Amino acid sequence: MGCLMSRLATASLRILAFASALALLVPFAPAQTFTVLHNFSNGADGDIPQTGTVDAGGNFYGTTYQGGTHQCGLVFKLMPRGTSWVLDPLYEFPDSTDACHPTAGLIFGPDGTLYGTSTFGGTNGVGTVYRLQPSPNRCSTTLCPWRESVLYSFAGGRSDGAEPSAGVTFDAAGNIFGPTTEGGSPCPQPGCGVIFKLTPTGGQWSESIIYQFGGGYYGGNPNSPLTPDPAGNFYGAEMAGGHYGSVYELSPNGSGWNYSTVYHFNDGVDGEYPLGTLLYQGDIYGTTLYGGPGNGGIVYRLNQTSGVWSLTMLEGFNYQGEQASSPSPMVVDAQGNMYGTAASGGQYGHGTVFKLTLSGESWTFTSLHDFNGTDGSDPISVVLDSQGNLYGTTWGGGTYGFGTAFKITQ
């Protein structure tokens, strides 16, 4: 258990950032156009950027874990202006009593405003769920700050969750769901966590805990946003249960929620410590932080037959040197191609953006861009716009060494 907690502690800040070394070198795909949108400087633009979302106008939104006046991080918007891009710091978290240190990106809610989580900050210092919306007053300048409101401050301890490090998910009724990596009761050791629900009531949000993890072998350290299916079930990943973590399902039962394990990672060969957003395409797709034949994590598919889920490895990654390796969470386009990042490895050792294409019964791996350090290093994840272009961020590299935001046009 000490070894497990040590490895989880090492990965805690990097829950959404995953070091990876590629199993083999793949030539650069010449049809792609790569552009650095912004070089972060650890000033008013922040440091350690997280990939967020893209709106219909092609504006790219994200967060930074730190930076700004109080080093609590900020929310940014990158806007195309002719042949260049302009960064607008929409909101700088002012101090630790507000939201502080977001480790997840952002989503647009049903009301068209941005929602996110912070790992720390809030009334009790153990994290928040917050919302950002444009100012109601007309803005006459290029850079226009938005208004932030904390919807919920976690209390921590046994009665509540603590340290939400993944994003949130809405259901059809407008309720917000998400995990926290700590908190809950009973919790005999670090790394339990809960699944929470926020319900809008009279302009306020009330919280309820729909599931508490038991810690250790019984599960904990949930690190992925909840992924819905058409029937209203949610799927997620946790890193502590069984031997090497598990994928789970939460199903509404009328008065509450039923928790069941979809798949336990058992022996390391099938992957260790699943993490990040899952894709639901009838089957479930995801990634692991470690394990697989090269001990560098895998991309996997979970397929259900006669009520039993089985795992198929789509791609394996190698362990190189002293740093563990893993692919990032993935996104899928309209043709069923999947995209992700690997935070190290590639031609120059600074990571890569990759594509997995289904051909018959097998998947073909293609590197879309290999980072060389000057254009970024340690890429986190990518998102797609409606034209199939990819946007993402890197935690390091670039002009100042504090990360970049980039776009790949296909």
Query: What pLDDT was estimated at residue 80?
Result: 95
CB 153 within 8 A of CB 163: no
Cβ-based neighbours of 380, under 8 Å, separated by 6 or more:
16, 17, 18, 49, 50, 51, 328, 341, 343, 392, 393, 394, 395
**Rounded distance, CA 212 to CA 192, Å?**
8
Q: Is 353 helix (H, G, I), strand (E, B) or coil?
A: strand
Sign, CA torsion 166/171/173/178? negative
Q: Kind and range of the H or E element at 10?
A: helix 2-11
Predicted pLDDT of residue 320: 53
Helix, strand, or coil (residue 365): strand
Rounded CA separation 246/192 (Å) = 14
Residue-level pLDDT, tens digit, the chain, 410 residues:
444 444 444 344 444 343 333 222 333 444 689 999 999 999 999 999 999 999 999 999 999 999 988 899 999 999 999 899 999 999 999 988 999 999 888 999 999 999 999 999 999 999 999 999 998 777 766 678 899 999 999 998 777 999 999 999 999 999 999 999 998 876 666 668 999 999 999 889 999 999 999 877 778 889 899 999 999 999 999 988 878 999 999 999 988 999 999 999 988 889 998 988 899 999 999 998 888 888 888 899 999 998 899 999 998 887 553 333 556 778 999 999 999 988 777 888 888 899 999 888 789 988 899 999 999 999 989 999 999 999 999 999 999 999 999 999 98
Strand partners for 200: 205
Q: Is 249 helix (H, G, I), strand (E, B) or coil?
A: strand
pTM for this model (two decimals): 0.88
Closest CA to 73 of 11, 117, 9: 117
- Per-domain residue ranges for the chain? 2-10+22-409
Placement of tokens 């009973």 in the chain: 186
Strands 60-66 and 47-54: antiparallel
The DSSP result for 184-230, as a single string, is -SS-SSS---EEEEEEEETTEEEEEEEEE---GGG---B-S--EE-T
Say which CATH superfamily domain 2-10+22-409 falls into.
YVTN repeat-like/Quinoprotein amine dehydrogenase (2.130.10.10)
- The pLDDT score that the predictor gives to residue 110 is 95
What counts of helices (H) and strands (E) characterise the chain? 1, 32
pLDDT score at 285: 95
Query: Which DSSP symbol is given to 95?
Result: S
